[in-house]
Amino acid sequence: MKGYASQEEKVLIEITKARAGVGSIQADEKTLNNPELFKKYAQAQTQMTSALSRLLVVAENYPQLKSNENFRDLQAQLEGTENRITVARNRYIQAVQKYNVTIRKFPNNLIAKFFGFDAKPSFTVENEKEISKPPEVKF
């Protein structure tokens, strides 16, 4: 039992840290224009997604928890949240690609250079293929 308690505590600590990391970095113009801040923002999002996935794995060990109505509601909310994150991430990637192509084409490139419009970083992470799909939530 101690092994399970240790694992659960570790997952909850990771979720708390990931949530704090996501909350501390706002996705505003300053973040989007600063590659270092944007990288931190992307890492925080990835850590949160990973921590939530591990929480669901831990929950698999508790049949009583899985049958609890409140937990089922939480699972549905998590699934919806993960899907919204995936959709928003894909929309952001598409918008950045369109913007970057637009400012590189002639005559837009002249206007972009004159006004200081720079290419924006795309959302990239180490496990891009893995997180580009909506997660499978199994209960």
Share of the chain above pLDDT 90, in %: 4
User: What does the pLDDT look like over 20-35, one tens digit per residue?
Assistant: 666 666 666 766 677 7
Residues 18, 51 contacting (CB under 8 angstroms): yes
Q: How far is CA 79 from the centre of its chain?
A: 13
User: What does the pLDDT look like over 90-126, one tens digit per residue?
Assistant: 888 888 899 899 989 999 889 888 998 888 877 766 6
Domain residue limits, the chain: 2-132
The three-class DSSP label of residue 91 is helix
